[in-house]
Every structure is written in structure tokens, then in C-alpha cells.
Structure 1
Amino acid sequence: MDYFPLFLDLRAQPCLLVGGGEVALRKAQLLLAAGGHLTVVAPALCEGLAALREQNRLVHRARRWQPDDLQGMRLAIAATDDTAINADVHHHCEAAGILVNVVDDPARCRFITPSIVDRSPLMIAISSGGNAPVLARLIRARIEAWLPHGYGALAQLAGRLRDRVKARFGHDDRARRRFWEQALDGPAAERALAGDVAGAEAALNATLADSDADTLARGAVYLVGAGPGNPDLLTFRALRLMQRADVVLYDNLVSPEIVDLVRRDAERLYVGKKASNHALPQEDINQLLVRLAREGKTVLRLKGGDPFIFGRGGEEIEELAAAGIEFQVVPGITSAAGASCYAGIPLTHRDYAQSVTFVTGHRRGEEIELDWPRLTSASETIVVYMGVAQAPRICAQLIAHGRAADTPAAIVEKATLPQQRTLVGTLATLPELLASSGVKPPALIIIGDVVRLAGKLGWRHC
């Protein structure tokens, strides 16, 4: 994090602006909109700043900047085209401990002014840390188009109800938060966004009167598919639930970038499982989900790929259902789909494969429990999850049961992530290819004639 994001209360606070041009005008408008008491130091003012002076909205010192101008100031902005003056303002602000911004000079900025989406009292600020202000403005434009103006009225309505909600639920923080989650994402909120603020307020008052702290404090579990690794492949519903969690359980298949999207104050518990190395046995994970929910917590179980495809989600919800715990399952893009798309290997193709089978290379005891004779059809694609360690045995068994030794085979490592690698060989050569290249999980094996398309359809940067 290059900058600590914060919002300053500048109401009635003395602020200094050095410079009298169009750039300074834009900064002046922001400072005045925030309620700052503005002093501008410049020999002359542009038309816009002169108009603000005539309206008595700022004090103008019609001369060159002097260090004494900083006396009593909360912050200062240097917006001149003279680099020596800007550097001098920065130097004296640093010495005096005054927040300073030098326009278009990130190295001399103790704070920066972001692109702003204003739905007062709701404010959204976007910053590139001074690296790409045009990109920040483009993102701002997209948020402006997506975010209804009614959110400002909704935020004001929530502010009016805060004391009543606090009195209703006392010190039960979890009940209060869940009330607001339901209130601000339900029918009353829709009425406010449509402009019917009075109707929304009446609906929220009725909901508040009927809300029961015990009901709101009941725990629930969300089993959420985190996809194959790339955060852009999360579903909208997954993102929403990730912001509601009190505690999140995740494994080694969930990338750190995805875990970072969980609500910041949520407790994070790693329950990763690797071959012969379980941070927590599955039975203990099942019981932990039940225990946390019974404590009244909203529990997010983040699972790589899809919860129901080799994710043992079925086992977990069986335990939850038996314990009477409320739960939801949110599907995710399974790793096979992500890996095949990013590697340019269609799992089915009219000319190469009419079916696809997902299998796991996870071993029970000393044997891999697969129906080998059923996997020998040349018109079928096989995708092997968790198969890196057992790849030599898998390839040998397929060949021994009749699959051609020259059947194309690929390994896709860290699928959908910038570090993705796609290695192509055959059933006969894949074990040696894996050994020589140092491939490590997470990785999927794709077997079948569709692999021939990898060179033609694969992304060139993979």
C-alpha cells in the first residue's frame, strides 16, 4: 500500500493554496466543497479564482509565496508552474509537519487528491498513487455510471436511524450489523434508490420494530466457490458474501489475492489440505463449521474451484444439515474450465472429443480408485485433479488398459494466474516432462486429442 487512505474533515480549517492558474482553480473548488477556509497566494488569479475572491469565498494574498504563509495552516497545496517554488513549499511544509501536495509531483506529496465519486454523505475515492491519473478517472467514470444517485439519500436515511438501531440492539454488534446488511440490501433500499425516501424510511422503521436480536444473531455458513485462482473470475454473489463473513475458512487452492477481498475485520482460518499433509482433517473442518455457526457467526467456507467438484462440499453440507445450520452454496468456475480456457484447450470439440470426464488423482491407501477400462476411449477428454504426484501411475495405467501411448497430454500449472505454465507432451512422455520441469500443485492434467489445439488456441503470454 503506497498511501494510507483516509478522509479529512476540513470544515472551517485553514488551508493554503499556492498558485493562481487553472490547475489551482480545480484544487480550490475541492477544498471549498469540503468546507475549508482557503487562502490563495499568487501574484495574479485566473478568471475562476478571481470570481471566487469576489464572492468572498477565499482570501487572496497578491504576491509571491513566503514561508510565513504556512502559519496556522492545516494543509497546503502547491500548484504553480515554477518547480523551485513548489519545492520550497514542500520543504517548509515538511519542516513544519503540515500536510502538503505538490501537483503532478508524487515524490513531493505527503497526501494526494484522488478521483472522487460524490454521493454525499457516501464518498468513493479512486487513486493510482500518482502513477496513472487518467486510469483513475476512467475507473471513476465507470463507477459513476453504475452507482445510482439514490445511494446518497440511502446513506442519509441510515444516519437518521443509527441511534434507534443502536438502542434497539444495545451492545450486540453482530445483530446490528446483520440488521443493516438486510436493511440496505432489501426492498426498503430499493425504494430509496427509486426516490421514495419516505416510503423507505417507513419500511425500515417497521423492519426495525419487528427485528429480533436472537434471530439476527443466528449463525450461517456460506460454501463459496473461489474459482481457479484469478480474482476476476469470482461471481458477484461470491464477492457480496465475502463482505458479510465474520470468519473465513480457506485452503491452499485459494489465492492470496482472493483472500484479500474478504471483509478486512473477518477472522481468517487456514485449513489447507495437501497430499499427506492436512492442516486440519476434513472431519474437524466439518465440526468447526458447525461450532462457529452455533456461536452466531457468519462463516465463509472458501473453496478453490467449485465446492461440489472434488471440493468435498457435499460432505460439509451434510454435516451442516444434520446440525440444523442454515447454509448456502455458491458455485464457482471449476479449475478444469479455467485451466482449459486459459490454456486454449477446449474440453470438447466435434473433431476431437465428444465427452469429458473429471477424475481425481487423490489416492486412498496405496491405490488410485479409477475405472481404468472406461477411460480408454479416444473420443473422450480426461481431466485429472490433484494428479501431479500420481501422474506416472495414471499414465501407465491408461496405457496398460488400452489408451494409446502417443495420446496428447498437457499439464496446466497455476491456471488463470500470471504464473500459469502449460506443458504439452503425451501419455508416454508426461511423467518425465513433469519431473524435469519441476511442476508443483496446483496443476491439472488434461488428456486427449483436444490437447493438439493448445499451440493453436493457447494464449501467447501463458
Structure 2
Amino acid sequence: MRYFPMFLDTRGRTVLLAGGGEQMAQKARLLTRTEARIEIMAPGIDAELAAHVASGRASRVEKVYDEPAIDRAALLFAASGCCGIDAMIAARGRETGALVNVVDRPALCDAITPALVDRDPLIVAIGTEGAAPVMAREVKTRLETMLEPELGGLVALAGRLRETVAESVPLLGRRAFWEWVFDGPPRRLWQEGLAAEAEAAIRARAAEGGAGGAATLVSLIALPEEVDLLPLRAVQRLQSAGIVLHPPGLGAEALELARRDAERATLATDGVDRVVDQVRAACADHARIVLLLPVGEPSSPALRAALEAEGLACEPLPGTG
């Protein structure tokens, strides 16, 4: 992976658009939705950019190259129409610590812009490192159909309620609580346009301490020969797990599908009782636990029975018996 995916805080920072044509207008359409200070450096600009200047959303330097303007930028985009000038702008910007993007010239770029699915404040960025923009657009199209347009409002509400939930819902149950919000009745109410009812349901459940949302679930997942053969539910469980127990030397590719902040631990190999002890210890800190098992593991049925005897809800996925 050449490009590290991350989001930049533009609040109070200057973004320079070096150029006055359609390519810079495209960047401005996104940047005007951020909290950045936008400066346009160009002797002539199109009507769309001129409207941003007229409204006060952007300022303008009427030069093709202006060192003070470049020096003010934390991030700059260049498409002046002249390759040589773009290279000069990029070099100066890099000298003064700006992140640089020269449109359609990846060799001069410190950063590239991804395809976006915007459900502000939920933003999904999709990139192929410039290798296949058509593929990025296809993924974007699929995600646009998966994420309802009004979802951003529910995400924003969750942000406003995080402190309230943190005060009422125990840490162990918090992740399960938010899973209930985004995969349960509150989201369905929100989709139906019943925002007040959704908020009331979230507040009521939080006031009860998140009751019903924190039951421990242990998922037993058989490791296939190829990780892309894992069923969708297995991938979902890996992405929601707080801890993943895996056999020694196995499961590396599957672990890549788990949450980055999920704990990883080696699965005991000295009997079912030892594994049960591991799971019992994990229950003290996690409500979602995944056990990765070799396909055809002969002890899987016995392990499931032992875990259920401890009162734990077990979910055997295909191949675990």
C-alpha cells in the first residue's frame, strides 16, 4: 500500500487552488463543504469559482504564481494549464510543508483524492492508488445504494449522544449498544422519517444502561483454505469482535479482516477446557468474541457444548459443526 488512508482536519487551514478552470471548480465543490479557508491563485477564473469569491467563501490572488499564497497553504491543488508552472508550484509548496496534489500528474503528488460516498459526517473514501478509477466508481455506486441518503443524520445524532451513552451504558456493553442503534429499531425508525422516535428509543435504552444490548456472543469460524471463501456473516463477526482467538501460525489473512483495534490472542492447543478458560477470561472485557478454528476441527462440537454449558451464546458458522 503506497498511499496511507487518512482524513485531514481542514478547520482554520488554508487550501490553495492553483488554477481557474473546471478541474479546480471540481475541487472547490468538495472543499466548500469543509471548514477550510479557500484561496484561488489564477489570473482568470471560471464563473463557478468567481461565485465562490463573490460570496466570500474563497479569496483570490490574480497571479499564475505567487509565493506568499503558496506559503500560506497547508494543502494545495494545482492545474494551471502549464506543466512547468504546476511543477514550480508543487516544488514551492513541498518546500514550505504543504501537501501537494497536481491534477493528473501522480508523480508530483503527495496525496491523491479518492472517490467519496458522502453521508456527512459518515464519509467513505475509496481509492485504487490511481490504478483503476473505474473500479473505484463501481464500488462507490454499490455503496451509494447500501447507505441510505438520510443515514448521516443518524450518525450525527449518535455523535451528540455519545457522552450521554458513556455515562449510562457500561463500557463492556457500549459497542453492542451502538450496534443495536445502527442495525436495529433506531435505524429503521430513522429510515421511515421518524427521527424523534428514533432518538427517544436510543435515549430510553441508554437510560436503562443499554439493557439487552450487551449479551456475549461467541462466534466459531472455520478457517477455509482461501480467506475469500469466508461467508459474509463470518466477515461481519470479525469486524465487530473485540477479541479474536486464532490457532498458532494460522489465520493471518483472516485477521486482516478484523477491526484494527481488536485484540488478537493465540488459541490454546491443550484441550477444550483450556479454550473455555480463555473465552471466560475474554468475557470480562468483550461482548463479541471470535474463535478461528481449522476446518474440520474434531473438537468443535465439544467446544461448542462446553461454551454453552457456561451460559455463553455460541454461533457456529459453516464448517465448525
Task: Report the TM-score when normalising by structure 2.
Answer: 0.90
Matching residue of 1:302: 292
Per-residue Cα deviation, 1:331-362 (whole angstroms, up to 9, x for no partner): 2599xxxxxxxxxxxxxxxxxxxxxxxxxxxx
* Structure 1 range deviating more: 56-65 or 240-249: 56-65
Query: Following superposition of structure 1 onto structure 2, how do residues 351-370 of structure 1 map, counting pairs within 5 Å?
Result: none
Q: Aligned equivalents of 1:187 and 1:210: distance in 2?
A: 16
Query: Displacement, 1:152?
Result: 0.8
Counterpart of 1:54 in structure 2 is 54
Distance 2:56 2:277 in 1: 68
Contact 2:20/2:49 (8 A) holds in 1? yes
- TM superposition shift of 1:124: 0.7
Deviation by residue 1:65-112 (Cα, 9 ceiling, x = unmatched):
122222322211112332211211121112111111111222222222
2:152 & 2:46 partners in 1: Cα distance?
Answer: 33
Counterpart-to-counterpart distance in 2, 1:68 and 1:249: 55
CA separation of 1:326 and 1:21: change in aligned 2, threshold 3 A: same
SS of match in other structure, 1:174: helix
Among 246, 250, 256, the alignment partner of 2:246 is: 250
CA contact (8 A) 1:218 1:294 kept: no
Q: What are the within-5 Å matches in structure 2 for residues 34-433 of structure 1?
A: 34-169=34-169, 172-211=170-209, 219-231=216-228, 233-251=229-247, 255-271=251-267, 280-283=269-272, 284-293=274-283, 296-305=286-295, 309-310=296-297, 312-331=299-318
Aligned-partner Cα distance in 1 for 2:36–2:73: 11
Q: Which has the higher contact order (CA 8 A, sep 6+)?
A: 2
Partner Cα distance (1:227, 1:190) in 2: 34
Gaps of 5+ in 1: 272-278, 335-462
Pair 1:145–1:102, CA change in 2 (3 A):
same
Q: Does the CA-based 8 Å contact 1:303-1:311 persist in structure 2?
A: no
Tell me, yes or no, if the aligned pair for 2:242 and 2:288 is still in contact at 8 Å.
yes
Report the Cα distance in structure 1 between the residues aligned to 2:318 and 2:193, rounded to whole angstroms. Answer: 34
Contact 1:93 1:100 in 2 (8 A): yes
- What's the % identity of the aligned pairs? 34
The one-character-per-residue Cα deviations of 1:117-165 (angstroms, maximum 9, x if unpaired) are 1101111111112222232122111111221113112102212211211
Moved over 4 A (4+): 215-218, 252-255, 294-297
Contact 1:17 1:24 survives alignment (8 Å): yes
Residues 238 and 61 (structure 1 numbering): CA distance in 2 closer, same or farther, change over 3 Å? same
Query: Quick one: distance in 1 between partners of 2:246 and 2:205?
Result: 34
Taking the aligned partners of 2:286 and 2:43, their CA distance within structure 1 comes to: 64
Go from structure 1 to structure 2 and tell me whether the alpha carbon gap of 1:74 and 1:112 turns closer, same or farther (over 3 Å shift).
same
- What is the DSSP-based 3-state SS (H/G/I as helix, E as strand, rest coil) of the residue aligned with 2:76? strand
Greater shift after overlay, 60-69 or 119-128? 60-69
Q: Evaluate the alpha carbon distance shift between residue 333 and residue 106 of structure 1 in structure 2; reply closer, same or farther with a 3 A threshold.
A: farther
Seen in structure 2, the aligned counterparts of structure 1 residues 48 and 240 have a Cα distance that, compared at 3 Å, is same
Following the alignment from structure 1 to structure 2, what is the Cα–Cα distance between the partners of residues 53 and 31?
A: 13
CA contact (8 A) 1:229 1:304 kept: no
- Structure 1 partner of 2:13: 13
Q: 1:216 to 1:141 in 2, by over 3 A?
A: closer
Aligned residues: 320
Asked if structure 1 preserves the Cα contact closer than 8 Å seen for 2:74 and 2:97, the reply is: no
One-letter amino acid of the counterpart of residue 159, structure 2:
G
Deviation of 1:297 (Å): 4.7
SS at match of 1:222: strand
In 1, Cα distance between the equivalents of 2:116 and 2:19? Answer: 22
Cα 1:333–1:141 shift into 2, 3 Å: farther
Normalised to the residue count of structure 1, the TM-score between the two structures is 0.64
Q: Give the Cα–Cα distance (whole angstroms) in 2 for the partners of residues 50 and 333 of structure 1.
A: 63
